[in-house]
Structure 1
Amino acid sequence: MTKSTTTVSAREAYQVLKDVALDTRTLQHPPTVSNGETTVVKVDDWEITLLTSNGVLIGCPSCVAPDGRTGHWHRFGTDPVSLLSAWEQARIEATLPTAALGENRLGTSAKA
């Protein structure tokens, strides 16, 4: 079976989120927020949609890679957020509430 080159795997998107948690990549601000639950963030040239509920990261339904490939995850447990460790998830959550301010709660400046 050959791997499709037109879609982004959950593991590939997870690696981008993990890199944010490890401070090797930075969320670019400002994010686009809709309904207070859906946040679209940019990481390098990735565009990642994150779902939150009361400040808790609960999912990643989709993303677009820099090369135009897309990934969509609709079932619980199959999206990139489900692959994050509790520590990684907490690090990403810490950046979201103050994302529009250009600085996250981890004390590092975000790219403008």
Structure 2
Amino acid sequence: MSTELTSREVCQHLRDAALGVRPLQVIGTGTGQVSVDIEGWRLQLEFDGKHLHHCGHCCCPDGREWALDSRQRFGTDPVSLLSTWELAQIEGLLRRAE
């Protein structure tokens, strides 16, 4: 059994937040970074105030983690798996929380 999260698992929580199925709560901000909680899933996102660029890290409640690293190929970032509409919804949630 894998101890790491997959990009698809992380993306599904972002999708659920975009659809309003799960609440997205901003728990911290930094320069170009925002930390969010989606029902115990902690995500570190690169967000410039307008556009969500990628997810750098995610940890779920059971301790499994996902992290973006330079060895990963295009398409493995959970943000890149979102539809255009889902991405716009998440960006809107992040802008409203600032």
Q: TM-score, normalised by structure 2?
A: 0.89
Structure-2 residue corresponding to 1:34: 30
Instruction: Give, in whole Å, the separation in 2 of the partners of 1:91 and 1:97.
Output: 10
Q: CA RMSD in A?
A: 1.4
Residue 85 of structure 1 aligns with which residue? 83
Aligned length: 95
Identity of aligned residues (%): 41
1:89 counterpart letter in structure 2: L
3-state SS in 2 of match to 1:78 = coil
Query: What TM-score comes out, normalization by structure 1 length?
Result: 0.78
Q: Which runs of 4+ in 1 moved over 2 A?
A: 74-77
The answer for the alignment partner of 1:107 in structure 2 is none
Q: Which runs of 5+ in 1 are unaligned?
A: 101-112
**Which residue pairs with 1:64 in the alignment?**
59
Bigger helix fraction: 2
Q: Give unpaired runs (5+ residues) of structure 2.
A: none
Higher Rg: 1
